Amino acid sequence: MPILQIREALREAIDEEMERDDRVFVMGEEVGYYNGAYKVTQGLLEKYGEQRVVDTPIAEAGFAGVGVGAAMAGLRPIIEFMTFNFSAVAFDQILNNAAKLRHLSGGQFTIPMVFRGPNAAAHMLSSTHSQAFESFYCGFPGVKVVSVATPYDAKGLLKSAIRDDNPIIFFESEVMYGVKGEVPEGEYLIPIGQADIKRPGSQVTVITWGQGVPITLEAAKMAEESGIDCEVIDLLTLRPLDRDAILQSVKKTNRAVLAYHGWPYGGTGAEVADLIAREAFYDLDAPVERVCYEDINFSYAENLEELAIPSPKQIFDAIAKVAYHSL
């Protein structure tokens, strides 16, 4: 089975879907002649031409709006944000147009489009370029939200997102584009709305997504060395949540930890904790723990940034706490 980087897996997904369906096109800053800021779209301009790989000005509101109009007209645009921090200037197009036009038109229009790019902290990019946006986008009906951490998931979920008739927010990570993993050669799709058990276990459920996945798996290894067997669930889709996967695991282990790149107030972590409290309260043997960003804006300084981001040791401490394991 081929070993690909996440950027290569995403490129394969886009390439295969553009070849399969001539309605699919890519638009964004530097996606064409520069081959993409993170080289996800490398080689696609040469293969498909300027009408289907469209370089744009630095005008996210403009090209997001063009994408919405194209989707209304029957095309299937992939809108790349160089970073989701820049999607802030396109909120009106995404949330008042893409997310609502199917409802406002009484179903006369579908909006089959993908907004994709890196989300959350990268490395020493300071506060305006280190924001986690899932809490914002998950808070609005009309969109689906996906977050990937492996090449296999990246390809299978992006292909599903491109084929979906709803607008999809597709989160990647700047610091994870080079992560390698096995990707099948043949066609495969991963259903949107389905979580994945990255590590089966019986004593503590640890729920994560995106950049939280590798550090959570590292924490689970630390826990194993201390005699605690963790089940690690990668949500993959943040909206709609795979409620069944979450609840089945928690009812099996009777303990839950949430470990993720995002802020503590509101958002997906709080939503999952609420779900567990409402639907699995009597199955819990310990309160739900959350390990996430400190509730502050990020500094540029590397040492201060590191203190604000969850670490494997912090996740392990939370696992030990819910397992009543003395450290």
Alpha carbons 311 and 291: distance in angstroms, whole number = 9
Alpha carbons 319 and 326: distance in angstroms, whole number: 11
Distance CA(43)–CA(33), nearest Å, equals: 9
278-287 long-range contacts (CB < 8 A, ≥24 apart) are 279/243, 279/247, 280/247, 280/250, 280/251, 280/256, 283/250, 283/251, 283/254, 284/250, 284/254, 284/255, 284/256, 285/254, 285/255, 285/322, 286/254, 286/255, 286/321, 286/322, 286/323, 286/324, 287/322
Q: How far apart are CA 83 and CA 106, in angstroms?
A: 32
Active-site amino acid positions: 60, 129
How far apart are the C-alpha atoms of 162 and 134, rounded to whole Å?
19
At 115 the three-state DSSP class reads strand
Question: What phi, psi does 250 have (nearest 5°)?
Answer: -65, -35
- In the block, tokens 């406002």 appear at 104
- Alpha-carbon distance of 325 to 100, in angstroms, equals 48
Query: Is 285 strand, coil or helix?
Result: coil
- Torsion-angle region of 106 (φ positive above 0: left; ψ -120 to 50: alpha; else: beta): left
